Structure 1
Amino acid sequence: MSTVIQGHDTITRDALTVLHPGFDGLEPPQWVLRRLDDGLTCVALFGRNVRDAEQVAALTARLRSVRPEVIVATDEEGGDVTRLEVRTGSSFPGNLALGAVDDVDLTRAVARELGRMLAECGVTMDWAPSADVNSDPDNPVIGVRSFGSGQELVARHTAAYVRGLHDSGVIACVKHFPGHGDTATDSHHALPHIGVPLEVLRARELVPFRAAIDAGAKVVMSAHIVLSALDPTLPATLSRPVLTGLLRGPVADGGLGFDGVVTTDALEMRAIAETYGMARGAVMALSAGADALCLGFNADDELVVGLRDAIAAAVRSGELAEERLAEAASRVRGLAAWASSRASAVEGAALADPSAGAGSPVGLVAARRALTVTGASGVTPFSAPVYVASFTPVANMAAGDETPWGLVPELARLLPGTVGGYFGPSSSGAEAVAAAGERPLVAVVRDVHRHPWMGEALAAVLSARPDAVVVEMGVPQASPLGALHIATRGASRVCGVAAAEVIAGVR
């Protein structure tokens, strides 16, 4: 029989410790505060929890008034996926832009500054960087979130990003193991299958994860993808051969030798929730070797308590080994202690150095360096207002549809009077041309190579207006088109600023 701790038996408390829920609101609800007192050790913040930096700092301070060592995590990749700057767009370019520059010192500096921003708000873990090798250019979920399509490039920038976040006292969480880059299916919607042989996986997808572990990564996030070479049935999140055999296995036996915390991607994603159910998925993930269970968007007290009790019941029935749950909870508590001590050490160093933590333009510097401009010779920068036609794909589920993107605000600042419109799959290029009238036209696309309708609309625009500027804010896979073509490799705010500067001829 288990011992009793503060009115909750050890098994129940450990089951609560491994859960990592989000919640609604700009302040922590009472149920979260109660569960922190009961043993909850991790919470997650999303865009719905953010108004501004001061509000987030107050929110995290309230959490720490109940549990000082609580891990507060968020999905702050920079680039297209931002939570703290969800209403304005990120001050940092994403991974593809950094990979294109290929300056590991710059990548580390960007991660350090992004981490400093998180730390000032009381966030102690970042679900970043994505270590996925974007080997399938039609990938609908990774794309600009990857440093690139070459494993060695992705490896060196993943390692630099891990070191940069740790420099700021924030835990890096490397994702999505064993690599989500070679799939045309988004695991938010369905269960992807990776059919490559194990030797290809070792030579490509696993290379960045090895580099991250060598760089001191403390957390690895699993992907909801089936790796057929190791487990033809279960997704990696639920697969013991993948999590325990491959990720934790001894290097001498072909494993990666990782001894840190393994966290799952969000269990409410359809690849898990609609295939196995969240409660069943939670138990299976722990049995496979996961330590922390991300609950993401749908968490409330009923869900958290239900999952806690399902895990505890699985232990009592013998379905889940008590030692496995205790090991997972111990790792999570150990990570919380490391984060708390690391944050204190970095804060002390910053106080000793008055220049530490000063505002930095490194994000804009990186965005400018990442641009590729084609056809600039003979093209005069605009000095009068322009019309911006933005062709809008369905939002990436990881990024959400809350974050603004495009060029209108930045070009309106440089060229007052600039306006624009958004055109979706049912729109035509002729509509954009008509809306522009006599004004200079800037056509903005994202991943035009993946969207036939977008390519057709762009062709119609350029047929009518060959003088149009084209800005690709996704993966620049298609051939450059337009009188001037600018590839930003991401749709963050600073990527828009950098492109607008070229169009307006200012810097």
Structure 2
Amino acid sequence: MGLDPGLRRLALGTLLAAYPGPIPPDWAVDLVAEGLAGHTLFGTNVHDPGQVAASTAALRAGRPDVLVAIDEEGGDVTRLAHATGSPYPGNAALGAIDDVALTRRVYEAIGAELAGLGITVDLAPTVDVNTADENPVIGTRSFGADPVRVAAHSAAAVAGLQAAGVAACAKHFPGHGATVADSHYELPTVDVPLDVLRERDLPPFAAVVAAGAQAVMTAHIRVPALTGDGPATFSRRVLVDLLRHEYGFTGAVITDALEMKGAAVAAGGVGPAAVRALAAGADLLCIGAQVDAELVERVVEEIVGALADGRLERARVEEAAGRVAALAAWTRATGAAPATPTTLGYAAARRAVRVEGELSALDRPLVVQLHTASTIAEGRVPWGLGPHLDGVQELRVVAAETDAAALRRLAGDRPIVLVGRHLHRLPGGPELVTALAAAHPVTVVEMGWPARWRPAGVRAFVTTYGASHANGRAAAEVLGLAG
């Protein structure tokens, strides 16, 4: 006996799925026609602008108000420019510049590009206050460590995106910035009193609510003072009492990907996680990137089963589906802004660069880029100075496997420019920099989160606040190495 068609459509209306490859398969479009809320696009779905526009048109043929979402944060997290790196600096750079009007213009430009491709929801901005230098998953995705500054730029980012006709989804509520674990792999804990959250982590969320953000994304983090042993995604106290009642949010609550271990392991699978998230007050359930028709049907069956056995109330699921429909209606009713030339992003990235020390005598340097693993959120996006160098030798090495004396011999009488991300916590990174600088002229370019660490003996320390294509170009220009 099959599922009740009405209940199946109701459950589908709360799900944000995904599909493999550059062309939506038939099942992905068929599910949209049957009531699926929408799909998220990932790098594997993006080859070129024409192809993306054709894909979104195919999805709209399934249903005109389908939601098409993407993680396009600019900076280190980009899907549209995953093959080259983003032409925009990320939030850390924008926060360092601290020009709120510029932040709005950058996000409006990103939104205009998305709107032109038929994408209706940007799973951005990241509004977490990055207070932990060791944070492995937020870092340069944050506007900074000051709640007031982050709040101002978060509101500007939301305003910019939504002026372009793309719904903003501020993330990750109630704040992922103080974690030292990645919720893709485990359930991080932020063990602080609620008063600390209100002063440190929550002001940006209050600001985006006031700015009219259409959506807020949950965090798969444990905050014992609020959530007990489970993640915020499954906490009614977080999603309803705090976000809706205390902060007055009326838009759609979107979950972070339920396939992430911070949610799936805690619930016992994606289907049970979907039920728990709905029960807690979430409206639109992001399943994740590895999705097929079978997984969608399993999640639907779990939701319908929960309606039958009392784990979920029908009124709660109807409320969730209604908020998702309202989000879809907003995206259809809002006109798109004209596209902005991408030179905006390169000029902004140049303004973010900070130089400590002396950059003279950088003639014909040996550029050494230290390998750094990417997070799941970032994906394998090219970074560094390489694409921007003019006749300069570049070498890519693993810090922990590299001999400083051998590098000095290779450089000879040339200075060394050492390029890295999060050098302060890169295995072997600080030791290699120190050993090189002790006997050779060294300039360091830090393209990750700007920690307090500064290596002894270097000629200059250059901070870009991100590793996007625009950040790399800006660094090469400041060093006088750009072609």
TM-score class, shorter-chain normalisation, is over 0.9
Shift of 1:425: 3.7
Which residue identity lines up with residue 236 of structure 1 in the other structure?
Answer: A
Looking at structure 2, the residues matched to 480 and 39 of structure 1 have their Cα atoms a distance apart, in angstroms, of: 56
- 1:198-209 aligned at under 5 Å gives the runs 198-209=194-205
Q: Any conservation in 2 of the 1:429–1:456 contact (CA below 8 Å)? A: no
Match status 1:362 vs 2:344: yes
Match status 1:457 vs 2:432: yes
Shift of 1:419: 2.7
2:377 aligned to 398, 405, 411, which one?
Answer: 398
Q: Deviations over 1:237-257 (max 9, x none)?
A: 0111111111111xxxxx111
Shift of 1:357: 2.2
- Secondary structure of 1:262 counterpart: strand
Match status 1:34 vs 2:26: no
Shift of 1:23: 1.2
2:260 aligned to 269, 287, 290, which one?
Answer: 269
Residue of structure 1 in register with 2:361 after alignment: 380
Match status 1:332 vs 2:308: no
Residue of structure 2 in register with 1:353 after alignment: none
Match status 1:469 vs 2:461: no
1:75 aligned to 71, 74, 84, which one?
Answer: 71
Which residue identity lines up with residue 388 of structure 1 in the other structure?
Answer: V
Residue of structure 1 in register with 2:454 after alignment: 479
Residue of structure 1 in register with 2:51 after alignment: 55
- Secondary structure of 2:225 counterpart: coil
Shift of 1:172: 0.6
Looking at structure 2, the residues matched to 431 and 192 of structure 1 have their Cα atoms a distance apart, in angstroms, of: 40
Looking at structure 1, the residues matched to 206 and 14 of structure 2 have their Cα atoms a distance apart, in angstroms, of: 25
Shift of 1:167: 1.1
Which residue identity lines up with residue 371 of structure 2 in the other structure?
Answer: T
Residue of structure 2 in register with 1:252 after alignment: none
Shift of 1:422: 3.1
Shift of 1:360: 4.0
Q: Any conservation in 2 of the 1:423–1:432 contact (CA below 8 Å)? A: no
Residue of structure 1 in register with 2:474 after alignment: 498
Match status 1:173 vs 2:158: no
Looking at structure 2, the residues matched to 336 and 437 of structure 1 have their Cα atoms a distance apart, in angstroms, of: 61
Looking at structure 2, the residues matched to 435 and 58 of structure 1 have their Cα atoms a distance apart, in angstroms, of: 50
Shift of 1:431: 4.8
Shift of 1:53: 1.2
- Secondary structure of 2:428 counterpart: helix
The alpha-carbon distance between structure 1 residues 274 and 428, as it changes in their structure 2 partners (threshold 3 A), is farther
- Secondary structure of 2:208 counterpart: helix
Which residue identity lines up with residue 432 of structure 2 in the other structure?
Answer: A
Match status 1:95 vs 2:91: yes
Match status 1:113 vs 2:109: yes
- 1:435-450 aligned at under 5 Å gives the runs 435-450=410-425
Looking at structure 1, the residues matched to 251 and 101 of structure 2 have their Cα atoms a distance apart, in angstroms, of: 25
Q: Any conservation in 1 of the 2:183–2:220 contact (CA below 8 Å)? A: yes
CA RMSD between the two structures = 1.8
1:46 aligned to 20, 42, 53, which one?
Answer: 42
2:302 aligned to 302, 310, 329, which one?
Answer: 310
Residue of structure 1 in register with 2:285 after alignment: 293
Which residue identity lines up with residue 396 of structure 2 in the other structure?
Answer: G
What TM-score comes out, normalization by structure 2 length? Answer: 0.95
State percent identity of aligned pairs. Answer: 46
Which residue identity lines up with residue 270 of structure 2 in the other structure?
Answer: M
- Secondary structure of 2:461 counterpart: strand
Looking at structure 1, the residues matched to 409 and 165 of structure 2 have their Cα atoms a distance apart, in angstroms, of: 52
Q: Any conservation in 2 of the 1:375–1:484 contact (CA below 8 Å)? A: yes
2:368 aligned to 389, 392, 397, which one?
Answer: 389
Shift of 1:9: 2.3
Q: Any conservation in 2 of the 1:393–1:425 contact (CA below 8 Å)? A: no
1:319 aligned to 307, 311, 318, which one?
Answer: 311
Which residue identity lines up with residue 453 of structure 1 in the other structure?
Answer: G
Looking at structure 2, the residues matched to 429 and 162 of structure 1 have their Cα atoms a distance apart, in angstroms, of: 46
1:429 aligned to 400, 404, 408, which one?
Answer: 404
Which residue identity lines up with residue 376 of structure 1 in the other structure?
Answer: E
What TM-score comes out, normalization by structure 1 length? Answer: 0.91
The alpha-carbon distance between structure 1 residues 506 and 488, as it changes in their structure 2 partners (threshold 3 A), is same
Looking at structure 2, the residues matched to 408 and 505 of structure 1 have their Cα atoms a distance apart, in angstroms, of: 10
Shift of 1:437: 4.7
Which residue identity lines up with residue 326 of structure 1 in the other structure?
Answer: E
Which residue identity lines up with residue 295 of structure 1 in the other structure?
Answer: I
Residue of structure 2 in register with 1:284 after alignment: 276
Q: Any conservation in 2 of the 1:137–1:143 contact (CA below 8 Å)? A: yes
- Secondary structure of 2:137 counterpart: coil
The alpha-carbon distance between structure 1 residues 341 and 480, as it changes in their structure 2 partners (threshold 3 A), is farther
Residue of structure 2 in register with 1:131 after alignment: 127
Q: Any conservation in 2 of the 1:408–1:420 contact (CA below 8 Å)? A: no
- 1:11-22 aligned at under 5 Å gives the runs 11-22=7-18
Q: Any conservation in 2 of the 1:92–1:367 contact (CA below 8 Å)? A: yes
Relative to structure 2, which stretch is displaced further, 481-490 or 232-241?
481-490
Gaps of 5+ in 1: 250-254, 351-355
Shift of 1:485: 2.0
Looking at structure 1, the residues matched to 342 and 372 of structure 2 have their Cα atoms a distance apart, in angstroms, of: 32
Shift of 1:438: 4.9
Q: Deviations over 1:301-356 (max 9, x none)?
A: 110010011101110111100000111011111111110111xx23xxx5xxxxx4
Residue of structure 1 in register with 2:251 after alignment: 260
Q: May I ask how many residue pairs the two structures share in their alignment?
A: 479
Which residue identity lines up with residue 29 of structure 1 in the other structure?
Answer: P
Q: Any conservation in 1 of the 2:257–2:286 contact (CA below 8 Å)? A: yes
Which residue identity lines up with residue 264 of structure 1 in the other structure?
Answer: T
